[in-house]
Amino acid sequence: MEKSVWGASTATPLRCRLTFALLSAAVLALAYVGGISNSSAVYSQDIAQSSSSDIPRQVTKINELVEQVWRDFNLQPSSPASDYEWCRRVYLDVIGRIPTIAEIDAFIGSKSPDKRVELVSRLLYSDEYTEEFARNWATIWSNLLIGRTGGTANNSMISRAGMSKYLRDSFARNKSYDRMVHELITASGYAQPGAEGFNGAVNFLIDKVNDDGAAQATAAVSRLFLGLQVQCTQCHNHPFNDWKQQKYWEFNAFFRQVRAFRGATDMASAQLVDQDFRGESGNADEADLFYELRNGLLKVAYPVFVDGTEISKSGYVNAVNRRQELSQLITASPYFDKAAVNRVWEHFLGYGFTKPVDDLGPHNAPSNSALLQYLADEFRDSGYNLRQLYSWIILSRPYALSSKKTKNNETDDPLLGASPKFSHFYLRQMRAEELYESLMVASGAGANQGSYEQQEEQRNRWLQQFVTAFGTDEGDESTTFNGTIPQVLMMFNGEMIQAAVSDQAGTLLYETINKSQWTVPQKVDRLFLAGLSRPATREEKNLAQQLIQARRGDLREGLKDLWWVILNSNEFIFNH
Amino acid sequence: MFFTTPSGMTRRHFMRHLAGASALTGSALAMGQTLCVHANELKRRNKAAILLWMNGGPSTMDLWDLKPGAATGGPFRPIATTGDMQISEHLPMMATQMDKMSIVRSMSTREADHARGRYYMHTGYVPNPNIIHPSYGSVISHQLMAHRNDLEIPPFIAIGGASEGPGFLGMAWAPFSVDANGQVRNLSMNVEAARMSERIQALSRLETNFINDNRGSAAVEHAKVIQKTLNLMTSRQMEAFRVEREPAEVQDRYGRNNFGRGCLMARRLVEIGVPFVEVTLGGWDNHQNIFPTLQNNLLPTLDRGMSALIEDLYQRGMLQDTAVIWMGEFGRTPRINGDAGRDHWARSWSVVVGGAGMKPGVAIGATNDDGTAVEGPTYSSEDLMATICRSLGISLETTFTSNDGRPMKIANSGKVIKDLLA
């Protein structure tokens, strides 16, 4: 029976048969007691002692500094995650999707004592994964730099494709982080790929410099690259720290030599241009700006960096390019290193050392300042090599812990307001993009369909259903993706799921159903591996049998139901 | 064990069963809330609230608190209303409804940044990195839901905007966002109900096993949201989203635009028992060319939709139980800037409220001659929220326990605005 969208024509009370009661879940949860005493030994066996020469020394130091916190707070870490769990995590976090069955089989089947190190190095450095690696990090950084809605409105100067292309190239080449930031801050040129003079990096600032004296550029650059939140000080002194209104406008003054121009006829010629700043008093040799204090008085400001470093007051680009100066000051700042590693740590471990991750102001002390400082120093010494930083964190002990909490670390829960101690892996939802790519891989639906750009566009269209822009001068937006009814509806009934549970030729389900040499339990295992990156338990195999029986023994239909169940489970949608 | 097939049960019995199941999950995981409820239950049975959210920060001195003649006053003239106050000449339809609404002209807040202001006005709390507070819709629907056993669709619906989230109350109290056309994506099940219920039964087993691994509350929340989704998918109450079922003249009266449709949908939703609806009208961040934008675009839209809603609620006898709140995240600078716009301003601004027994037809508080400061007592987001809660019969002694174990008073211990509630 087809249920109409509004249920208007459906007479029977369907809903009475659909209930979903998780009865004793919680009660059983309380009875869980984890064995953890030898977890350190197991970890060591997995990684550290297997081939100490391949383990970067930074990994050892990270472990020491995290373990110190566990001792200080009398926490016992959870057991190590299984190879299956760890493998799934690494694929998700490094290339933005869950592993395929073949990839899991290869990892689990490997007898190499260094197999974790080898997997990390393959994902980070082998040509096989360059494209997916670059796509994942370009997505993450696009969302940071222009948001999920940037460039999606008809009249936007931002070219999403241009931003993405620039970032993809940068990550594929392992451009150093300071170089990338320098390019983003100082870029000029055309926004759209294909235009002569194209420079995709301009898309970061192109919609942030024209309005309200470049307020958005000021706020975004200081927040993203220094971890300093200045937006409140535009109008008044900061309530929590010593940021003064004066500092905001001095920082803002660096963005007064840049202007975005729309194309005369279309967006294809939108560009970001350096131009002389004549000052608000009209004297370009001492190009000033004025801002209003809350008592109505006007004050003057010239470019001064947050640490007090002054640059020339000239507004002539030939005399001094204020963005170039700013970029050098930012990449030399100690805040720059810390802001970068804090964000990367958050990416892999779920939380940074500060909440929010991009607020490193003096009022907001980091939870493990020794580790933050250590990582910042090492990152700088590495020449801002992002892949090295990733590998240190991925190979560290906290990243390899199970997400199952024990009675000896249950208090370590940032959702309860505590600062994160990383004594177990924190459960988190896949990002929308991760879910999309994972569904593509797991279902075999839509693999290699269309060009890269077409795939990107398809994905962006899908994502837009979960994003709302607030339409204010802060360019802020909100996602309804995380754990809401629309998300569940999408997973229940959406097109991607329908395609995945159809048995069209080419889908994973089709292959599984039609592989005649596999037994039913083997087929069930394949589906669990594809969706949850682990084989089915005995109970789950029984469950699969029940589903098949409910379809009167029709294996094909029963496996469709099972596949639907797997893709809708919490275990699928969480990075765990 | 985890799944019961309620065929043959009465609906009432079935709902009781469901309520029992979720209560067990909730208490055992200590998710939640200590409720100190000693309010008049009858009073709350039909109560609801509609928040008209003016995203971007509306210039209230060009709408509700005009300063003709002042240097800051702008070009708009005040006109008389059916209430005891004047409002902008560009709100003529609202002028005929002001006997049912009141203006609080003495709002004074401190958050003049959009994200912070939106959070503060929605929750009564300033943003805090360690705790996320529940928004109006989550708090009020949470408090009123106990009396809505027949409601099958989410109790907090956000139309045309994102609103703010449920914070520590958990994802089960998150806003359900729809666009103003009321289209909900992916609602059609594609398989027959019996088969769906078999899938759900199996899914419930997988979910439960994962939850039992003790991996954190997010897994539990996922299960709750699945239950809510099931309720919604099979509910005839989804019909309430279909504003096009209204007579053409009603749709015309509300305005055939997103805000008008949103207001009409809000009335339909409250009518079937939804306790909280938020309708967003954006575009108020008028740093440039504010006066033509208001006069030609925003005010006509607002005037039509809002006046229709109030008139309609009143004529149906619903306004006495329904609180209507009109506000944005802050006001705008009395000073007109160099781009003929107004910037962010939180120190002195207005909100409009009415219904649910609040005193109608009055202007409360006042600003000085050029609108730059409040004269006399000022009111905050907390005070407004306390007033709304009280009007809905929600006790201000209600205390939640935040996820870090701290007791959190509803409406952040705000004080009821006495001139609105005797």
Option in A7, A22, A416 nearest B235 (CB): A7
**pLDDT reported for residue B198:** 93
Which secondary-structure segment (H or E) carries A468? strand A467-469
User: B10: pLDDT confidence band, cut at 50, 70 and 90?
Assistant: very low
**pLDDT reported for residue B29:** 23
Instruction: Record the tokens describing residue A316, joined without a space.
Output: 């002539």
Buried b (16+ CB within 10 A) or exposed e, B19-58: eebbebbbebbebbbeeeeebeeeebebbbbbbbbbbbbb
Name the residue in chain B with its Cα closest to that of A428. B218
Q: What is d(CA B24, CA A163) in angstroms, rounded to the nearest whole number?
A: 49
The domain spans of chain B are 34-181+242-413, 183-240
Name the residue in chain B with its Cα closest to that of A547. B198
Option in B5, B29, B219 nearest A574 (CB): B219
Say if CB A187 and CB A163 are below 8 A apart.
no
User: Which distant-in-sequence residues (6+ apart) come within 8 Å of A515 by Cβ?
Assistant: A523
Q: What is d(CA A492, CA B406) in angstroms, rounded to the nearest whole number?
A: 37
**pLDDT reported for residue A491:** 94
**DSSP conformational letter for A45:** I
**pLDDT reported for residue A3:** 34
Q: What is d(CA A87, CA A94) in angstroms, rounded to the nearest whole number?
A: 11
**pLDDT reported for residue A119:** 97
Taking 50 as the threshold, does the pLDDT of residue B36 lie above it? no
Interface pTM, i.e. ipTM: 0.86
pLDDT in tens, B149-174: 788 999 999 999 888 989 999 888 99
**pLDDT reported for residue A267:** 61
Say if CB B323 and CB B355 are below 8 A apart.
yes
Say if CB B51 and CB B399 are below 8 A apart.
no
Peptide bond before residue A356 is cis, with ω within 30 degrees of 0: yes
**pLDDT reported for residue A446:** 59
Interface test with A, best of B3, B14, B191, B278 (most A CBs within 10 A): B191
Using only the alpha carbons of chain A, give its radius of gyration. 26
Instruction: Record the tokens describing residue A134, joined without a space.
Output: 């670059």
**pLDDT reported for residue B27:** 26
Instruction: Record the tokens describing residue A224, joined without a space.
Output: 């993203």
- Give the closest residue to B323 by CA, choosing from B50, B101, B54, B139: B50
Q: What is d(CA B81, CA B93) in angstroms, rounded to the nearest whole number?
A: 9
Enumerate residues 263 to 292 of chain A having a beta carbon within 8 A of any beta carbon in chain B.
292
**pLDDT reported for residue A266:** 66
Name the residue in chain A with its Cα closest to that of B10. A16
**pLDDT reported for residue A293:** 77
Nearest-neighbour CA in chain A from B323: distance (Å)? 25
A464 Cβ under 8 Å from any chain B Cβ: no
Option in B5, B25, B154 nearest A17 (CB): B5
Interface contact A468-B238, CB threshold 8 A: no
Buried b (16+ CB within 10 A) or exposed e, B312-333: bbbeeebbebbbbbbbbbbbbb
A15 Cβ under 8 Å from any chain B Cβ: yes
**pLDDT reported for residue A8:** 33
Pick out chain A residues at pLDDT < 50.
1-42, 44-46, 48-50, 240
CA atoms in the 13 A half-sphere facing the CB of A510: 11
Q: What is the DSSP string of A491-559?
A: HHH-HHHHHHHS--TTSHHHHHHH-TTS-HHHHHHHHHHHHHSSPPPHHHHHHHHHHHHHTTT-HHHHH
Say if CB A144 and CB A131 are below 8 A apart.
no
**pLDDT reported for residue A510:** 92
Interface test with A, best of B53, B164, B206 (most A CBs within 10 A): B206
Between B8 and A314, the more confident residue is: A314
User: Which distant-in-sequence residues (6+ apart) come within 8 Å of B281 by Cβ?
Assistant: B52, B53, B54, B55, B160, B259, B262, B298, B301, B302, B305
CA atoms in the 13 A half-sphere facing the CB of B12: 0
Burial (CB count <10 Å: 0-12, 13-18, 19+), residue B185: middle
Chain B positions touching A483 (Cβ under 8 A) are 171, 174, 218, 221-222, 225
Interface contact B56-A470, CB threshold 8 A: yes
Nearest-neighbour CA in chain B from A352: distance (Å)? 12
CATH entry, B34-181+242-413, from 3.30.70, 3.30.1360, 3.40.50, 3.40.720: 3.40.720
**DSSP conformational letter for B135:** P
The domain spans of chain A are 23-125+369-423, 130-332, 485-575
Enumerate residues 506 to 565 of chain A having a beta carbon within 8 A of any beta carbon in chain B.
539-540, 543, 546-547, 550-551, 561-562, 564-565
Could you count the other beta carbons within 10 Å of the beta carbon of residue B398? 21
Q: What is the pTM of this model?
A: 0.84
Which secondary-structure segment (H or E) carries B106? strand B101-107
Burial (CB count <10 Å: 0-12, 13-18, 19+), residue B306: buried
**pLDDT reported for residue A300:** 93
What value does the mean pLDDT take over residues B46-50? Answer: 94
Option in A20, A482, A494 nearest B186 (CB): A494
**pLDDT reported for residue B31:** 25
Option in A480, A490, A569 nearest B162 (CB): A480
**pLDDT reported for residue A506:** 84
Chain A positions touching B4 (Cβ under 8 A) are 19, 21
**pLDDT reported for residue A372:** 98
Option in B3, B199, B285 nearest A19 (CB): B3
Could you count the other beta carbons within 10 Å of the beta carbon of residue A143? 19
Interface contact A22-B21, CB threshold 8 A: yes
Please state at what angle helix B299-315 crosses helix B258-271, rounded to 10 degrees. 20
Option in B152, B204, B216 nearest A413 (CB): B216
B152 — alpha (psi -120 to 50), left (phi > 0) or beta? Answer: alpha
Distance of CA B366 to the CA centre of its chain: 25
User: Which distant-in-sequence residues (6+ apart) come within 8 Å of A458 by Cβ?
Assistant: A446, A450
What percent of chain B shows pLDDT beyond 70? 89
A485 Cβ under 8 Å from any chain B Cβ: yes
Which secondary-structure segment (H or E) carries A274? strand A271-274
Interface contact B186-A211, CB threshold 8 A: no
A1 Cβ under 8 Å from any chain B Cβ: yes
Which of the given ranges, A297-301, A563-567, B2-6, B195-199, has the highest pLDDT on average? A563-567
Nearest-neighbour CA in chain B from A400: distance (Å)? 15
Taking 90 as the threshold, does the pLDDT of residue B320 lie above it? yes
Option in B283, B287, B402 nearest A471 (CB): B283
pLDDT in tens, B62-98: 999 999 999 999 999 999 999 999 999 999 999 999 9
**How would you classify the pairing of strands A271-274 and B331-332?**
unpaired
pLDDT in tens, B253-311: 999 999 999 999 999 999 999 999 999 999 999 999 999 999 999 999 999 999 999 99
**pLDDT reported for residue A49:** 43
**pLDDT reported for residue A238:** 57
